[in-house]
Amino acid sequence: NAGVMQNPRHLVRRRGQEARLRCSPMKGHSHVYWYRQLPEEGLKFMVYLQKENIIDESGMPKERFSAEFPKEGPSILRIQQVVRGDSAAYFCASSPPGTSGGYEQYFGPGTRLTVT
Amino acid sequence: DQQVKQNSPSLSVQEGRISILNCDYTNSMFDYFLWYKKYPAEGPTFLISISSIKDKNEDGRFTVFLNKSAKHLSLHIVPSQPGDSAVYFCAARGSTGGGNKLTFGTGTQLKVEL
């Protein structure tokens, strides 16, 4: 039973380029979350999505960042015109539908974005 | 404002002894708490959780205690093993408005020494 998959694992972009990070949730999971971890900090919530819907984007920067979870295919976190401050580890998590099983979220290995 | 705080950035324990990791929170609307373990260059791994209606949950070597009045929870690992050396994050889920998003502490680096 494959876990949460993220690709690429490492991504290097020059300032001004676009970064696309992909996340495939665990089988049977329909809820996807994106978190960002800056150096020496904890994980910070960015966005919570269900299929074709953004449920909570309260942690997303107002500009340059967007996320989607289409009916088919992985969830995508897109960062336009990257700046050095975007360099971080981006983690995706997923959880099953409903809450009978608790609120555990299961994380992928992360994408480490470096902006040069 | 840091709603979930882990005030000890690091902890060193001898193998076989008990490890106690602490976490404090300020938001009384949190209704579910989780502990994650993280190795370098990997994603966090879920360890154990507790609902706000309970005060203790146990799973093998791991026990989480919740003191709602003090807004404090702790993770006990006994006996500690070298493989437990990792960063441990406390996380909390909000019951209203915030949906299922988790708020994380800054982590405690646990080192279990032989």
Q: Which pLDDT belongs to residue A1?
A: 55
| Residue A113 CB contacts under 8 Å (≥ 6 apart), including other chains | A11, A12, A13, A19, A21, A79, A82, A86, A87, A88, A89, A90
Which chain B residues have a beta carbon less than 8 Å from that of A93? 43
Nearest to B100 among A59, A95, A106 (CB): A95
| Alpha-carbon distance A92 to nearest alpha carbon in chain B (angstroms) | 9
B:20-59 residues touching chain A, CB 8 A cutoff: 32, 34, 36, 41-46, 49, 51
Name the maximum alpha-carbon separation found in chain B: 46
pLDDT tens digits, one per residue of A97-111? 776 556 889 999 999
Residues A86 and A98: beta-carbon distance below 8 Å? no
Strand partners, A66: A78
pLDDT digits (tens, 9 = 90+) for B38-63: 999 899 999 999 999 999 999 999 99
Q: What is the C-alpha separation between B46 and B32, in angstroms, rounded? A: 14
Q: What is the mean pLDDT of chain B?
A: 94
